[in-house]
Structure 1
């Protein structure tokens, strides 16, 4: 049996020991709404419980009880551990990152910087606020949001100046983190419309004054932005991670479904030709094409060694990465524009003295354009254009997602192709006019405008990474303009009519 501290909210703050135990667990006990992301560390088939777990532990199963913050700090876990001891169940307690330090760090408040004294109290227990008022350093208060104003008055009555800096931070270390900086004397008016709920933390002391210089989390360019990524989780993994690094909350919504060709004979002949030396080159224009060939190889018991003697081209970085993961290093990758045109610009013309074979295999989608074929033909190559997979419109997303798209619940949407524009509008409706529209290039912009969408951001080169970076730059400029004007930075979704507005 193990009690594992999960930290205050950010799933990346889980300790290595905690992740190790979750990976071995037979049973996990946790609140899925709060700690669901931690299940990614668990093996498939793990049992998830919300109730009594001691019978499982007594039966010899490894039970991991996930606890908020640090299990031994202002927690009832000591009672649960005592119950395990009474039931003769061996247990381990794994410390977690305590909110008292993590939330302050994420808010840009160094707790022991101004004066080397740091006091943490739980407002749920009876406190002598007069003695706390005498604390010259930083006072951190758990579970006090409902009593924030009376606590402030009690500290003033105990001798703290009403000008003492204070801050209240809720949902700490998550992308919903929200911090109000005030003073003890202004606690009531400044918190009146903040709408704070637990979990929240009250911080009192001069260290709060350092937030202006040290705030790093809430000042990220896309902090808290809910960004729609119209791709599958598999396709969007790297893009979503990049968006998270900017502070965004990405949400993947597939707009296409990738399916095998209606008839497999063409692909079967292509694989046979690839193995028997029919081709000089194989050109991959998408990661999906690499996946389709890889699956066919596995079906025939082949692996990357079958590419020996072949030259391999990839249209861009994502496709190249898929090939490398397969064990194939591309011979040709555009150094400029990552597109069919960019690939053609660097493709060598056919030379009968140098090239024993003049044939190129193109495993592609059923809806691929003929740009690459036409260009290769002009260069003297013969092309076998093979349908490796079909793209069909995906099923509509759940109703809450559709309502958020049409109602302005998303702050931005990233369109990585014209088809994602057409398909998203087709399955979910047109994004609200407050939503920032970001596109990967001119053709996608043209399609978006044809659907009546205002294009706000365009990548400087046609890659998903460049698109995310362009959106972050847009968000940063928007934030800087608001601060320069003396306004509170707000997300696009907060500007729609009826949106909740909170002052920071």
Structure 2
């Protein structure tokens, strides 16, 4: 492989739950080595009244999704209940391109996406589009903050459709990689991953000696609170944007 590629020799570590082919290809094509060492895992949250909640969701005026995980959990519930989204009267609000893409794959059309993929920007922009809303349901994860429920000027029901749990399976491998690598970049996409790293990895490695990248200002703040220095945070809150920013940063420093 050519040694003049922008990420040549860099070890790029993804700590989130997913690694798509497009992301890994972006890293490899630019000369980097890619490691998927998730610090969190997700699982669908189920309950005996899921059928009742599904019916309510399909009859809501608006459904709000802020993650692919929520879309996947919702889709699984629809399949088990043998329900089709064709029966839905709801408009769809999505935060993030990947979330929107996941919704479109199961047949939804996106009616609103905020200009910046964050909940605090969402609560500012969404009311201007939605107007007066009588029934709104936010499908969320167990660790979602109250930003959407408390930030919108109309009542918002919430449904926790998945749970986020810490994953320690890759702690040893991640710690060893950091300690032995001369050029590592750790990418964080959520405060949850930051918390696990801070608890299990940072006590052994510290927050220095490697590059830290954050997707989104909420994740950035979690890193700063933990004592880390954030080296890269793209304006666009996507994984592909962060890879591009890493490549540009390496090019500027060469």
Q: Would you call these one fold, judging by a TM-score over 0.5?
A: yes
1:424 is paired with a residue of what secondary structure?
helix
The CA RMSD measured in Å over matched residues stands at 2.3
Q: Runs of 4+ in structure 1 displaced over 4 angstroms?
A: 349-352
Contact 2:191 2:219 in 1 (8 A): yes
Contact 1:408 1:433 in 2 (8 A): no
- Distance in 1, matches of 2:96 and 2:171, equals 32
- Point out where structure 2 has 5 or more consecutive residues left out of the alignment: none
**What CA distance in whole angstroms lies between the structure 2 residues aligned with 1:399 and 1:415?**
18
3-state secondary structure, aligned to 1:458: coil
Q: 2:213 pairs with 438, 447, 462, which one? A: 438
CA contact (8 A) 1:267 1:386 kept: no
- Aligned pairs for 1:117-128 within 5 A: none
Aligned residues of 2:6 and 2:251 also touching (Cα < 8 A): yes
Note closer, same or farther for the CA distance 1:348–1:454 as it changes in structure 2 (3 Å cut): closer
User: Quick check: 1:289–1:388 contact (8 Å CA) kept in 2?
Assistant: yes
Q: How far apart are the structure 1 equivalents of 2:171 and 2:150? A: 41
| TM superposition score normalised by structure 1 | 0.46
**What runs of 5+ residues in structure 1 fail to find an aligned partner?**
1-172, 174-216, 480-504
Q: Which has the higher contact order (CA 8 A, sep 6+)?
A: 2
Q: Does 1:228 align with 2:1?
A: no
CA contact (8 A) 2:171 2:201 kept: no
* 2:74–2:161 Cα contact (<8 Å) kept: yes
> Which residue of 36, 46, 49 maps to 1:252?
36
User: Aligned in 2, Cα 1:255/1:272: closer, same or farther, shift over 3 Å?
Assistant: same
**Alignment match, 1:273:** 56
**Structure 2 SS opposite 1:453:** coil
Contact 1:404–1:410, Cα closer than 8 Å, also in 2: no
Matches of 2:197 and 2:49 in 1, distance apart? 31
Q: CA deviation at 1:361?
A: 1.1
Q: 1:293-323 deviations in whole A, cap 9, x for unaligned?
A: 000011011233233x220110110100111
SS in 2 for 1:258: strand
Does the 8 Å CA contact 1:270/1:361 hold for their aligned counterparts? no
1:473 aligns with 2:248: yes
State the structure with more CA Rg. 1
Distance in 2, Cα, partners of 1:392 & 1:400:
19
| Per-residue deviation, residues 310-351 of structure 1 (Å, max 9, x unmatched) | 2011011010011111121211112x2111123223313565
- TM-score, normalised relative to structure 2: 0.88
Deviations 1:145-178 (A, max 9, x none): xxxxxxxxxxxxxxxxxxxxxxxxxxxx4xxxxx
Mapped to 2, the partners of 1:292 and 1:254 lie a distance apart of: 19
Q: Check the 8 A contact 1:289/1:365 in 2, yes or no.
A: yes
Distance across 2 between alignment mates of 1:395 and 1:292: 23
Q: Distance in 2 between matches of 1:440 and 1:400?
A: 23
SS at match of 1:348: helix
Structure 2: how far apart are the matches of 1:444 and 1:398?
20
Q: Which residue of 2 aligns with 1:299?
A: 80
Q: Give the aligned partner of residue 214 of structure 1.
A: none
Query: Cα–Cα, structure 1 residues 409 and 300, in superposed 2: closer, same or farther, change >3 Å?
Result: farther
Residue 164 of structure 2 corresponds to residue 385 of structure 1:
no
Distance in 2 (alpha carbons) for counterparts of 1:343 and 1:455: 24
